[in-house]
Amino acid sequence: MQMPQYLFAYHGGGMAETPQEQQKVMAQWQAWYASMGNAVVQGGAPVGMSKIVSTTGVADDGGANPVSGYTVVRAENFEAATKMAGGCPTVISGKGSVEVAELIEL
């Protein structure tokens, strides 16, 4: 049986302002991904501003807590997935959070 997969949806964070800070942040993300090894199914990517679609129309603001990126990982259970998410540079910096959701196989 294959381990379940989990979606990490990032909220918050932001782009580093200087090239030196960008390099530092990228190194932190690369080290975090390396620490998870083969658990990383899809590295994902940052995302641009989202739009919220509902029966009342389309809102351009991305909602109260817009998604800023995503990753898909494989973990034994929710506890293991949330432990991995705790190592996210955005969480460690205090600048954002990671929403963890199990992907349901149909």
Torsion angles phi and psi, residue 85, rounded to 5: -60, -30
> What is the pLDDT at residue 42?
95
Tell me the CATH class for 5-103: alpha beta
pTM: 0.90
Does pLDDT of 14 surpass 80? Answer: no
47-101 confidence digits (pLDDT tens): 988 899 999 999 888 788 889 999 999 999 999 999 999 999 999 999 999 999 9
For the chain, domain boundaries: 5-103
The helix (run of H) or strand (run of E) holding residue 72 is: strand 67-74
C-alpha span between 88 and 26 (Å, rounded): 12
